[in-house]
């Protein structure tokens, strides 16, 4: 559906809209096939998804249904076999250079993974500032912003700790701080509560909701937890690589 | 700069975290560098311009007089007599300087290098001597602490003069006595000391001696009979000269070939060659090391192949092992690299990170290796030096000077070797790993 722009709206229309919807992620006819010498597996089949700016979308489905593959393709961590991906109005051309893709990931996307993927040799402060490091932000600015986001996720007292010295919930908070430090438009969370107990899981989900509601960040979350998915604004369900709802 | 510090911080953390890997990597690098440094020091001593052999790039050695058969093959060789030196070399046009020196083999087997002199307490002491002319002190740049070198006049007038080293001077006369003008030697073989030099090391055997005596005095009473020419040429000398450049080297060769042809006619039926064993300094060193008989024909590859093999073993074999270790470690770090790429790290940035991390390890190993090589040269000096130098000339005072141990060229060479190790061991496996897709990298077990 084509969205009306403000200038074309009637007085009544303007009054009835709270905000204008804008597609920030657009997947068109996306297929992903994994091939080995013996077998061919279709992980995604003709997937078409539009995610609007400011949405909190959850993708649900059983294990192996292709939801993580979808998230990886949205996050430019993997390439579709066919189909197109648009992020923030930019069509991701498969011929884009490694450097250009790295820059895009750095500025536009933030990731939260089920197993945290923190770097064990770095402390909390150094882990969190990674995206800014690769953006070429100066040391003082990096430190200032890292401290701000660490404080926001409630870990000011753990800045010098390394991941092995933290609990699972704390690790995921660090991962969220790392995801938001670069102010990305989109946060992609792959089973962010999958390795946590229910209390910690609820805590992390609360943090993600806060980021969505207060900062207006677009969040796409993969989960198989129905209860958590219900707390997001929209749910897409997957089965055997196909979108079923 | 800050990112560099972060790389180094990361590397140090990795060293603490992966003690076994880091330890083996550092030990491997240290041993390779230590061996390389010992070899480099040995060959630096043998080949580089070091005191007093600072003209090595211009030096020409003519070791043997070769007697040829009718087919142009060498059938026997011998060293030159002082007579032969006078007739064939002393007045050569295409040299800067030319001097007779006791040939290495005669110094050792015939004992020509040994000379008895009366010591302080009246006892005879045996010293290493060289019998030569004035040009010797132009070819070898000795530092004169007192007095002067042997002069052309000394040679022409057969003066009984000698130059001695400062160590011998101190041994004979003590510290406070000026030895110039004093006599040394034993009855019938006495010389007046005309100069005192800072001594050379036995590691530079061509210039090394404790006493340098005027050859024209030493041989003044020899009688040469023109009726038996061939016998007159055989003696204990080799010839050493300096030439300005390659053109003069070639001109000297032609000149000596012409001389040999002329004298071959005089010595009917016995053609001779003066240039069959003519060589520059590097060739001379390699010939001696490989015991290449002088008349054996050899190619440039024959000369260098032992060293290629040696450096291959010393540098590349450990490098290949380290390469395998780094590759294994990169596999273990794939997940981390994937995460870094997910947050915007470019492939080149990560490659540099790996290079810097390995640089820290290699530099640590390299510094330990350098220190190890110095310790080895100090503690195992006799074993190492005997392996590479003429053990007959070595003695308790043999030293490897600071000039050699801290030579900038050597240090630079060692650094380059380290860099080569680093590049070989780190970049290639890292580059291969970083080409893997991000998802694949992140899914690797950590």
Is the pLDDT at B295 greater than 50? The verdict is: no
B19 vs chain A: nearest CA distance in angstroms?
13
**Taking CB atoms and an 8 Å cutoff, what residues of chain A touch B17?**
120-121
Residue-wise pLDDT for B192-214, tens only, equals 999 999 998 888 888 989 999 99
Residue of A nearest to B350 (CA): A134
Contact flag A134-B349 (C-beta cutoff 8 Å):
yes
Contact flag A105-B335 (C-beta cutoff 8 Å):
no
B438 vs chain A: nearest CA distance in angstroms?
6
Is the pLDDT at A16 greater than 50? The verdict is: no
* A105, A117, A139 ranked by CB distance to B344: nearest: A105
A226 in any annotated domain: yes
**Taking CB atoms and an 8 Å cutoff, what residues of chain A touch B350?**
none
**Taking CB atoms and an 8 Å cutoff, what residues of chain A touch B332?**
none
> Based on the structure, what is the number of domains in chain A?
1
Residue A134: which domain range? 20-243
Does B381 or A229 have the greater pLDDT score? A229
Contact flag B342-A107 (C-beta cutoff 8 Å):
no
CATH classification of the domain holding A91: 3.40.50.300
Determine the pLDDT at residue A27: 95
Contact flag A134-B437 (C-beta cutoff 8 Å):
no
Is the pLDDT at B189 greater than 60? The verdict is: yes
**Taking CB atoms and an 8 Å cutoff, what residues of chain A touch B347?**
98-99, 102
Is the pLDDT at A239 greater than 50? The verdict is: yes
A211 in any annotated domain: yes
Contact flag A102-B340 (C-beta cutoff 8 Å):
no
Helix (H) or strand (E) holding A68: helix A67-74
**Taking CB atoms and an 8 Å cutoff, what residues of chain B touch A130?**
340, 343, 345
Contact flag B439-A102 (C-beta cutoff 8 Å):
no
Residue-wise pLDDT for B359-368, tens only, equals 888 888 888 8
Q: What angle do CA B304, B308, B310 make, to 5 degrees?
A: 120
**Taking CB atoms and an 8 Å cutoff, what residues of chain B touch A107?**
344
B343, B442, B446: which to substitute to probe chain A, counting the most A Cβ within 10 Å?
Answer: B343
Question: What is the pLDDT averaged over residues B13-40?
Answer: 79
Is the pLDDT at B301 greater than 90? The verdict is: no
Residue-wise pLDDT for A172-204, tens only, equals 999 999 999 999 999 999 999 888 888 888 888
A158 in any annotated domain: yes
B346 vs chain A: nearest CA distance in angstroms?
6
Helix (H) or strand (E) holding A106: helix A98-108
Kindly report the average pLDDT of chain A as a whole number: 87
Interface confidence (ipTM) of the complex: 0.88
Determine the pLDDT at residue B393: 55
Domains in chain B: boundaries: 2-50+302-442, 64-276
């Amino acid at each position: 559906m084509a969205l009306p722009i403000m200038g074309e709206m009637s007085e009544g229309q303007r009054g009835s809209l709270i905000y204008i919807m804008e597609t920030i992620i657009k997947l068109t006819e996306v297929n992903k096939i994994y091939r080995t010498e013996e077998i061919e597996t279709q992980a995604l089949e003709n997937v078409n998804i539009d995610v609007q700016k400011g949405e909190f979308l959850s993708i649900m489905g059983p294990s192996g249904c292709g939801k993580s593959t979808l998230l990886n393709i949205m996050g430019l961590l993997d390439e579709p076999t066919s189909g197109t991906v648009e992020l923030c109005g930019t069509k991701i051309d498969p011929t884009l250079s490694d450097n250009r893709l790295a820059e895009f990931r750095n500025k536009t996307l933030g990731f939260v993974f089920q197993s945290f993927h923190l770097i064990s040799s770095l402390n909390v402060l150094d882990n969190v500032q990674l995206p800014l490091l690769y953006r070429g932000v100066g040391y003082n600015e990096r430190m200032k912003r890292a401290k701000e986001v660490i404080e926001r996720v409630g870990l000011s007292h753990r800045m010098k700790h390394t991941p092995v010295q933290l609990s699972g919930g704390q690790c995921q908070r660090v991962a969220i701080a790392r995801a938001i430090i670069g102010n990305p438009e989109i946060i992609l969370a792959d089973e962010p509560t999958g390795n946590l107990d229910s209390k910690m899981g609820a805590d992390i989900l609360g943090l993600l909701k806060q980021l969505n509601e207060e900062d207006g960040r677009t969040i796409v979350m993969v989960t198989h937890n129905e209860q958590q998915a219900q707390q997001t604004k929209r749910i897409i369900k997957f089965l055997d690589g196909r979108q079923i709802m | 700069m800050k990112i560099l510090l972060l790389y180094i911080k990361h590397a140090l953390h990795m060293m603490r975290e992966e003690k076994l890997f880091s330890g083996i990597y550092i030990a491997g690098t240290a041993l390779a560098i230590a061996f390389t440094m010992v070899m480099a020091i040995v060959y630096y001593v043998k080949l580089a311009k070091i005191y007093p052999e600072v003209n090595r790039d211009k030096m020409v050695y003519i070791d043997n007089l070769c007697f040829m058969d009718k087919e142009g093959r060498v059938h026997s060789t011998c060293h030159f007599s002082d007579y032969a030196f006078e007739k064939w070399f002393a007045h050569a046009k295409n040299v800067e300087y030319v001097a007779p020196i006791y040939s290495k083999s005669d110094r050792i087997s015939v004992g020509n290098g040994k000379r008895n002199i009366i010591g302080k307490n009246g006892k005879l002491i045996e010293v290493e001597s060289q019998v030569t002319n004035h040009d010797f002190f132009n070819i070898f740049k000795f530092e004169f602490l007192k007095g002067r070198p042997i002069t052309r006049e000394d040679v022409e007038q057969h003066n009984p003069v000698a130059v001695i080293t400062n160590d011998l001077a101190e041994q004979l006369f003590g510290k406070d006595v000026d030895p110039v003008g004093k006599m040394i030697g034993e009855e019938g073989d006495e010389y007046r000391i005309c100069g005192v030099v800072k001594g050379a090391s036995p590691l530079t055997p061509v210039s090394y001696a404790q006493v340098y005596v005027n050859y024209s005095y030493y041989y003044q009473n020899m009688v040469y009979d023109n009726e038996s020419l061939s016998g007159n040429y055989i003696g204990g000398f080799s010839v050493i000269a300096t030439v300005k450049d390659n053109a003069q080297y070639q001109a000297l060769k032609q000149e000596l070939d012409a001389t040999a042809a002329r004298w071959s006619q005089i010595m009917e039926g016995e053609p001779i060659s003066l240039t069959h064993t003519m060589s520059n300094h590097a060739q001379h060193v390699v010939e001696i090391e490989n015991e290449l008989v002088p008349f054996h024909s050899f190619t440039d590859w024959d000369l260098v192949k032992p060293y290629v093999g040696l450096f291959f073993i010393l540098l590349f074999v450990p490098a290949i092992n380290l390469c395998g270790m780094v590759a294994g470690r990169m596999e273990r770090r794939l997940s981390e690299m994937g995460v870094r790429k997910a947050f915007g790290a470019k492939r080149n940035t990560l490659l540099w990170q790996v290079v810097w991390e390995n640089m820290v390890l290699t530099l640590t190993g390299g510094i330990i290796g350098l220190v190890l090589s110095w310790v080895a040269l100090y503690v195992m000096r006799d074993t190492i030096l005997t392996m590479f130098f003429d053990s007959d000339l070595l003695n308790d005072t043999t030293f490897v000077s600071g000039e050699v141990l801290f030579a900038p060229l050597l240090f630079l060479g060692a650094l380059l070797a380290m860099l080569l190790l680093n590049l070989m061991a780190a970049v290639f496996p890292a580059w291969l790993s970083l080409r893997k897709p991000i998802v694949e990298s992140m899914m690797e077990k950590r």
